[in-house]
Amino acid sequence: MTYVITSPCIDTMDQSCVDVCPVDCIHFDEGVDKMLYIDPDECIDCGACEPACPVSAIFAEDDVPDDQKHFTEINALWFQDKDAARAKVG
């Protein structure tokens, strides 16, 4: 299981989650991305990011709301094809 960043992060991009992540698995490109992304291969499922998020955008993979499930794919996709992930965010 991994953690997933969902739509409340879009255009907010508060980096409190980055500050508390012990493995630096939360990434974005400054000035290009509209949200932050969690690398599912680097995430150690510690959960430190979830309470740090001021807009409640982060969920454990199994707890992602149904209307946000597509963000699980988008987070993983960003680490393979950034442009494709950005296109899905809009």
Domain carrying residue 14? 3-89
Q: What is the pLDDT of residues 29-38, one digit of tens each?
A: 999 999 999 9
pLDDT at 78: 98
Q: What is the pTM of this model?
A: 0.96
Q: Domain containing 37 — which CATH number? A: 3.30.70.20
Mean pLDDT, the chain, rounded, equals 97
How many domains is the chain built from? 1
Label residues 68-79 b or e (16+ Cβ within 10 Å = b): beebbebbbbbb
Place of tokens 């430190």: 48
**What 8-state DSSP symbol labels residue 34?**
S
